[in-house]
């Protein structure tokens, strides 16, 4: 619940009490008040409609009138690309908590606070964690998935599934290889020539003083004349991690720093090359064999703390860059194709369908 202020959390407690009173004293005893349609709630860790949840939401809302599909967020319609009249629930509101208690299915991508902060573990619907990323690069705590209350943790392959169950605490029976819905959107599309840069967040307490300043310097190293010239007619889009609030700007017309509300998924789909460090966005590019440059200023430190599931100097040696000069050299070099089959069981454009099949079976509807 770190994304919420103390005041918001206090308001959530009040909303929970009111919602539970309504649900158990009025809704449950009196069938007249009970919802006539099946209810599905979806939410994300940053409140934005994007990534795997976006793909599922768009498919589910187009199904039939036997189901009500809601997206839960603290943002307004225009900020997340929804039109007025869409089924948007304000996170932490009484209505959102009531719908959570009524829901037959809940879909999250990050943690227990995506839909019903403070109440998630008490909700009885089928809980599906579709993940906002792909586990396979940076190590996460060994109890990471044990702390996420979900009946199903989606995975893209046995490789990733084994990491979740053997190294991250997920119950083996809860890990289901469905593939990730967002990959359906990038399987076949017309690629441009533009470049996306996205770097992962770090727990700065694990490192020495000045590490965050080095991180910002690392980001700013991409905003320079040499990179602008090397790009030529291409554009470099720099998307900052949502937790970065520092002002980073560009004076170059072909180097653009995106805003918080620019949909990362859109740029993942449209760009032909990725510059990253340890971000799971890597897998979106490996999926259909696009070029990745691993630009890692702190590889020696990071590979030890928190650690990596793969050794970059072995697995991605041809695309490894420690300096901006390495990045520039990589721009126009031919790259070795990373073996996507090792990391993805499915590349058939039907990942969304496999997750929806789980939902439809649980709801008892035929889609």
* Digit-coded pLDDT (tens) for 93-126: 999 999 999 999 999 999 999 999 999 999 999 9
Structure tokens at 36: 């006539």
Across the chain, mean pLDDT equals: 91
Domains 6-185+348-363 and 195-342 share a fold: yes
How confident is the model at residue 76, as a pLDDT?
87
The pLDDT of residue 260 is above 60: yes
- The larger pLDDT score, comparing residue 321 to residue 175, is at 175
How confident is the model at residue 85, as a pLDDT?
61
How confident is the model at residue 71, as a pLDDT?
96
- The larger pLDDT score, comparing residue 338 to residue 91, is at 91
How confident is the model at residue 336, as a pLDDT?
65
How confident is the model at residue 133, as a pLDDT?
84
The pLDDT of residue 81 is above 80: no
Domain ranges of the chain: 6-185+348-363, 195-342
As a whole number, mean pLDDT of residues 317-329 equals: 89
- Written out in words, the top-level CATH class of the domain with range 6-185+348-363 is alpha beta
Residue 86 banded pLDDT, cuts 50, 70, 90: low
The pLDDT of residue 352 is above 70: yes
The pLDDT of residue 190 is above 60: no
- Bridge partners (DSSP) of residue 146 are none
The residue to which tokens 């008490």 are assigned = 122
Q: 268: burial class by Cβ within 10 Å (0-12, 13-18, 19+)?
A: buried
Q: From CA 286, how far away is CA 341, in angstroms rounded?
A: 10
The pLDDT of residue 243 is above 70: yes
How confident is the model at residue 132, as a pLDDT?
87
Q: From CA 135, how far away is CA 137, in angstroms rounded?
A: 6
The pLDDT of residue 189 is above 60: no
The pLDDT of residue 188 is above 90: no
As a whole number, mean pLDDT of residues 218-246 equals: 93
As a whole number, mean pLDDT of residues 143-164 equals: 96
pTM of the predicted model as reported, rounded to 2 decimal places: 0.83
- The larger pLDDT score, comparing residue 319 to residue 103, is at 103
Backbone angles phi, psi at 365, to 5 degrees: -115, 155
CB atoms within 10 A of CB 337: 11
As a whole number, mean pLDDT of residues 311-333 equals: 87
The pLDDT of residue 311 is above 80: yes
The tens digit of pLDDT for each residue in 16-64 reads 999 999 999 998 888 666 667 899 999 999 999 988 999 999 999 988 8
The pLDDT of residue 157 is above 90: yes
As a whole number, mean pLDDT of residues 314-341 equals: 83
How confident is the model at residue 342, as a pLDDT?
84
- Does the structural domain 195-342 have CATH classification 3.40.50.300? no
Q: From CA 107, how far away is CA 180, in angstroms rounded?
A: 13
Q: Is 113 left (phi over 0), alpha (psi -120 to 50) or beta?
A: alpha
How confident is the model at residue 350, as a pLDDT?
95
Q: From CA 75, how far away is CA 217, in angstroms rounded?
A: 31
């Amino acid at each position: 619940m770190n994304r919420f202020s103390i005041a918001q959390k206090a308001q959530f407690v009040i909303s929970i009490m009111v919602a539970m009173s309504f649900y158990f004293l009025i809704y449950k005893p009196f069938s007249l008040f009970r919802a006539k349609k099946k209810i599905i709630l979806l939410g994300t860790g940053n409140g934005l409609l994007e990534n795997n949840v976006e793909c599922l939401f768009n498919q589910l809302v187009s199904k039939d009138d036997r189901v009500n599909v809601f997206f839960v967020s603290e943002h307004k319609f225009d900020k997340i690309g929804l039109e007025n009249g869409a089924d948007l629930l304000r996170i932490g509101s009484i209505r959102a908590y009531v719908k959570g208690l009524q829901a037959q299915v809940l879909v999250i991508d990050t943690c227990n606070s995506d839909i019903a902060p403070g109440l998630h573990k008490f909700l009885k619907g089928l809980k599906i964690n579709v993940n906002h990323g792909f586990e396979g690069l940076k190590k996460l705590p060994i109890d990471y998935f044990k702390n996420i209350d979900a009946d199903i943790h989606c995975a893209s392959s046995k490789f990733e599934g084994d990491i979740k169950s053997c190294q991250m605490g997920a119950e083996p029976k809860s890990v289901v290889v469905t593939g990730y819905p967002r990959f359906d959107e990038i399987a076949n599309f017309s690629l441009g020539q533009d470049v996306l840069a996205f770097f992962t967040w770090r727990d700065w307490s694990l490192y020495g003083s000045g590490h965050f300043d080095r991180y910002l310097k690392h980001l700013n190293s991409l905003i320079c004349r040499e990179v602008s010239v090397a790009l030529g007619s291409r554009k470099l889009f720099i998307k900052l991690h949502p937790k970065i609030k520092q002002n980073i700007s560009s004076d170059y017309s072909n180097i653009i720093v995106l805003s918080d509300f620019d949909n990362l998924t859109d740029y993942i789909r449209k760009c032909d090359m990725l510059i990253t460090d340890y971000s799971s966005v890597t897998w979106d590019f490996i999926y259909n064999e696009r070029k990745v440059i691993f630009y890692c200023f702190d590889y020696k430190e990071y590979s030890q703390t928190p650690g990596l599931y793969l050794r970059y100097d072995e697995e991605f040696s041809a695309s490894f860059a420690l300096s901006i000069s390495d990045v520039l050299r990589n721009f126009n070099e031919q790259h070795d194709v990373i073996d996507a089959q090792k990391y993805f069981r499915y590349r058939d454009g039907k990942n969304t369908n496999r997750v929806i099949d789980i939902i439809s079976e649980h709801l008892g509807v035929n889609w």
